[in-house]
Structure 1
C-alpha cells in the first residue's frame, strides 16, 4: 500500500473469503443479471480478490474497500481516468494564497447526496470537522491511516495537524486553512478516504460509532448498511456470507449517469477460481490475472487490460535482528548479488522494468544518476569479505495467500532471489507466512530480516512513495538502530515543505541519490504492470495506473 499500516490494510484486503465461494457463482449468475443486455443497462459482475473492510471510506485504507466505495463517493479533486493526473471532481477549480496555507475551492452546483441532502460548502466543512474531531478507536492509525499520514494529528492537539480549519464562504465556495505549506496539497484530497459523505446520513446512522473488539473493529450502521455519497452508483446490499456487494445506478447523479443498471462485486480470493468463474460465464471480469495466463486468456477471446506500472517491488532489509545488515557494505553486497534483469525477464509480467530507485521515473524528483548495483556475485563476495561477513546467513521472508499488483507470484520471486543470494555464497533461511496470517504483522515489528514488499502509488508525489516508507523515524522497522534514520526523515520533511518547485525537485533528487548510495535501507527490484481481464462483451472500462478504476463508463453488450 502503509507503509506499514497501509501495507497492512491495503494489502490485507486481498485476503477475503476462501476459494470455496466460487462454487456458488453458477447458481447465482442468472438471478444477478438483467435479461435485456444491450449497450446500456444490464448488470456487470466483477470478481474482486478480497472483501471490503467496511463502506465508510474515511475508516479504510485498503484497495478492496476503495474499489467499491469509489463508485459511490466523490472527492473534491479527482484523478483523470487512465492517468495519475489531477482533475476537478466536486470542486470545479481552486486557488491558494502565496504561502500555500489557505485554499479556496469553488464547488459544483446542483449536486445532491444519495439521500437528497444538498452537497455544498457547509457539507464540505462538516466532513472535514468530522475527520478532524475523531476520538477513541476512530483516531487510531488502523482506522484513520490516511488522515494521520496526510494531516497528522486531530483536534485534541496531542500531535500537530496540517488541518487548521474550514469555512463555508457561501454555498458554492469553501476555504480550507492549513498550518503549513505542503507540496502534496491539494493532490492528497484525491484519495478515497477524503470522499465527501452525507452529513445527514453520518449523523443519522452514527458513523463515528466504531469500537475496537479483539484484533478488529465493530463498525457503525452507517459503515455497514448506509454509505451515502454523491457518486454515479448507490449502495443496495452486501451479502457477506456469499461475498456479494450490489450497487445500483444513481439516476439523480449530477454528471454523466452510469450506463449499467447494476454493478456487482463478487469476492473470490483465489486467482484460479476467479479465472474459472470468468470462463464459466459467472462473472464478467476480474482483477490481477496471473501473468502466465495473459496470453491464453487473450487467445480465448478475453480482453486483458494492462495498466501502466506505477508501483515498486523491493527487497526490504531490517537491521534490528541481524547485526551484519547494519553494515552498508553488506547491504551493497546483497544488491550486487541479485540479478534484477533476469528477475524481470523471467518472473515478472511482460513490460516490467528494473527499478533503479524507490519510485517510477514519471514521479517528480527522480534522479537519473543514482548509484547502481549491477549484477556481480564476485563483487558481492568481495564486499562481504571486506565487511567481515563472508559467511553471511540471512532469513528471507516471502508471503503466501496473496497476489499484489507489484508482486504477482511471491513464491517465484522468492525462488529467484534465493538462487541469486546463494550463488554469492550467502546462506538463505526461507520463511513463508500467510499475508494476513503473520507476514505483515511480523514485518511491521521488525522480525523479518529480508522480506518482499512493495507499494502502488496513491497519487503522483515523491512523498507518497519515499515519504511513506521513510518519513517517520520513530517506528521504522528498516531504519531501527541506524544512525541516519532521523536525518532521512528530516530531509523528506524539508523537501515536502519547500514551496519552489525546482528547488523541491532538486531536494528529492538528492534524497534519492543518498537512499541508493549512503543509506540503502532496501533494494528496489522492479516496476510491473498489473492487469485486469474482462469478457469481450464489456466495453468502456479504463485501466488506471493507480488501480483506481471507475465503472460508470462501462457497458455490457450482451448478458449471456
Structure 2
C-alpha cells in the first residue's frame, strides 16, 4: 500500500500543473537564444555549492545539482507537494507509526555500478544515525531536525532520537524501526538531505570525515569529488576556478533517461549579470529573477515561470539578549507596529500576501483562530508603555549578498520594517552581514541579534516543516525555552492520524500566535526563468525542479 497524507497542498499541484501547461504552450512561440548546444543546459547559479553530500547541506544552491544526481525513497510529484514513488514503490507504516516498511525498486544501480537494495537503504540510515563527531553532526541540519538527534547526541540534542534501527528484510524490502512516531513521515522521507548514496563510495572516499577549524568546515573526498547516487545525471566535475559544475547523463538509469547529455551550473553571484547573460543567450536559465526584471526577460523571449506560493518571510525575535523581549507585550507591540500589507505591496513580488501565522494557507494546520495583531501603531505604543519599554533599541541583523524566494531584496525589506518600528518608538540599529559570510552563523548559532530577517520555503506538505522547524526546540535564533510551545508542537508531530494531526497543529498555531516567538510577515510567489526554447521544466512550489525531462526545441 502506498501511504500518502492527503492535504490541502493539492491546490499547489493544480496551480503548478496549470502554470506548466500554459508555459509549455507559450514556449514554442518564443525564440530565446542559448549559450550552449542543443544537448547541454547551462543554468546560472546564484552561489557556489557547499559540497555534494546531501546530508551535510541545507541550501538551495547546493540542492539544485544534487537533485539531478540523487534520489530519495519517496518523491514529490512535479509541480506539487504531494507524494509519488521514488526509489520505493510502496511504503506502509505500522498502526502506531513506529515502523515503516518500504518496497524498493528492482534493477536500480548507483553510479558506481553497485546495486541499490535494502542493505544500501539501511547503510544510509545507520550512517546518519551513527555519524561521529560534533562537527559532522552540526552540519546535518535537516537530519537533526527530523530525527531529533543521533546515537551519540552532541550539541543541543536531548532525549531519544527518532531513529532506532533498520532491517533488510529481503533484497527489496527495508524496514525502518523508530523510537517514536513522527507525524512528518512519510513526507519527510523525500527530503533531498535524505537521498540515497552508494555505500561502497561512501566507504571508499571517507565520507564521514568532517573536520572543523574555527567557524570553517572541511569535507572529505566523497562530498567534494565523488558524489554517487542513482539519479538521471552523474557528477563529472566541479571547476572552482571557472565556477562551473558539470553533470553528464546517466546512460544506465533505471527509468526514462534524461533528454539532455549535459547540465552545466555556472556560478554567477551578481543578479544583474545573470539577467544580462540570460538576455544575451549565454545561459539557458536562472532562479529567482528580480520581479522588476520579469518584463524585460519576457520581452527578450524568455519564459518567466512563477511558482505556486509555499514560503514565509518572518521577523525573528531573540529573547536571550534583551530583557524587554522576554515580555510578550513587547513582542506583540513589534507585530502591531509593522504594516504587512504595505510591505507585501511595495517590497515583494506581485502576488505577495501579508501573513498572520507561519503555516501556509494551503497546508493542514492553518487556522483562522490564531490571535491576530494587525497593523496598529497606537496599540504598539500602548503596549510598549505598559511594558516599560518606551526607550527600546534593537540590533536588527539583515542578510546581504543573497536573494531568497521569500526575500528578494533583504536590505530594502529591512528598511521598510525599520521605518515601521521607528514610527512606533523602537530605535533600530541595522547590522548587515553577508548571507554565507557571517549572517547565518551570527543569527542561527551565536544568537548575536535582537531581531533578524529570515524565512523558509517549505520542503514538504506538512505544518511541522514550518512551525516545528522554527519553534520545536530551543534555538539560538529565537532564544526562548517555553515548554508550552514545545509541547504543543511535539504533540502535533507525534500524531499518526491525519485529522488528529491537523487539529493538533491548529491548536499549536493558536499557542504560537499568543506567544509571538517571531512575527510572520509575508509570502511571495518566486519565479524561475528559462529560455524560450526550453521545454519540459515544471516549476515546483518546493523549488524541487528536476531537469531530466528538460530539452530544447519542439517536444
Same fold (TM over 0.5): yes
Question: 4+ runs of 1 displaced by more than 6 Å?
Answer: none
Q: Which residue in 1 is equivalent to 2:231? A: 231
Matched, 1:454 2:458: no
Contact 2:167 2:175 survives alignment (8 Å)? yes
Contact 1:470 1:476 survives alignment (8 Å)? no
Quote the offset at 1:137 in angstroms.
5.1
Q: Which residue in 1 is equivalent to 2:471? A: 470
Quote the offset at 1:33 in angstroms.
3.4
Task: Output the CA distance in 2 between the equivalents of 1:530 and 1:49.
Answer: 15
Task: Output the CA distance in 1 between the equivalents of 2:34 and 2:374.
Answer: 56
Contact 1:137 1:210 survives alignment (8 Å)? no
3-state SS of paired residue (1:399): strand
- The 1:265–1:167 alpha-carbon spacing in structure 2 relative to 1, beyond 3 Å, is same
Quote the offset at 1:412 in angstroms.
1.4
Question: Which stretch of structure 1 is more off in the superposition, 275-284 or 84-93?
Answer: 275-284
Task: Output the CA distance in 2 between the equivalents of 1:32 and 1:205.
Answer: 35
- Select 2:506's aligned residue among 487, 509, 514: 509
Matched, 1:324 2:324: yes
Contact 1:111 1:254 survives alignment (8 Å)? yes
1:436-455 superposed matches below 5 A: 436-444=436-444, 445-455=446-456
1:265-276 superposed matches below 5 A: 265-276=265-276
3-state SS of paired residue (1:321): coil
Q: Which residue in 2 is equivalent to 1:134? A: 131
- The 1:374–1:32 alpha-carbon spacing in structure 2 relative to 1, beyond 3 Å, is closer
1:248-397 superposed matches below 5 A: 248-397=248-397
1:478-493 superposed matches below 5 A: 478-480=478-480, 485-493=482-490
Quote the offset at 1:188 in angstroms.
1.3
Contact 2:318 2:476 survives alignment (8 Å)? no
Contact 2:69 2:233 survives alignment (8 Å)? yes
- The 1:138–1:119 alpha-carbon spacing in structure 2 relative to 1, beyond 3 Å, is farther
RMSD: 1.9
Task: Output the CA distance in 2 between the equivalents of 1:392 and 1:163.
Answer: 45
- Select 1:149's aligned residue among 145, 148, 166: 145
Quote the offset at 1:336 in angstroms.
1.5
Any unmatched runs of 5+ in structure 1? Answer: 1-29
TM-score of the pair, normalised by structure 1: 0.89
Matched, 1:33 2:4: no
Task: Output the CA distance in 2 between the equivalents of 1:390 and 1:129.
Answer: 53
Any unmatched runs of 5+ in structure 2? Answer: 1-32
Task: Output the CA distance in 2 between the equivalents of 1:212 and 1:434.
Answer: 21
Quote the offset at 1:556 in angstroms.
1.6
3-state SS of paired residue (1:140): helix
Quote the offset at 1:453 in angstroms.
0.9
Q: Which residue in 2 is equivalent to 1:173? A: 173
- CA-to-partner distance for each residue in 1:379-438, whole Å, 9 max, x for gaps? 222222222233333333322211111110112111211222222233332222222232
Q: Which residue in 1 is equivalent to 2:520? A: 524
Question: Which stretch of structure 1 is more off in the superposition, 402-411 or 214-223?
Answer: 214-223
- The 1:145–1:256 alpha-carbon spacing in structure 2 relative to 1, beyond 3 Å, is same
Task: Output the CA distance in 1 between the equivalents of 2:207 and 2:333.
Answer: 51
- The 1:126–1:439 alpha-carbon spacing in structure 2 relative to 1, beyond 3 Å, is closer
Quote the offset at 1:138 in angstroms.
6.0
Task: Output the CA distance in 2 between the equivalents of 1:32 and 1:217.
Answer: 35
Paired residues, number: 517
- Select 1:539's aligned residue among 521, 535, 541: 535
Contact 1:90 1:107 survives alignment (8 Å)? yes
- The 1:418–1:139 alpha-carbon spacing in structure 2 relative to 1, beyond 3 Å, is closer
- Select 1:45's aligned residue among 42, 45, 48: 42
3-state SS of paired residue (2:466): helix
Matched, 1:556 2:552: yes
Q: Which residue in 2 is equivalent to 1:116? A: 113
Q: Which residue in 2 is equivalent to 1:75? A: 72
- The 1:230–1:553 alpha-carbon spacing in structure 2 relative to 1, beyond 3 Å, is same
Quote the offset at 1:274 in angstroms.
0.8
Quote the offset at 1:442 in angstroms.
2.1
3-state SS of paired residue (1:331): helix
Contact 1:94 1:103 survives alignment (8 Å)? yes
3-state SS of paired residue (1:176): strand
Quote the offset at 1:267 in angstroms.
0.7
3-state SS of paired residue (2:138): coil
3-state SS of paired residue (2:75): strand
Task: Output the CA distance in 1 between the equivalents of 2:427 and 2:212.
Answer: 42
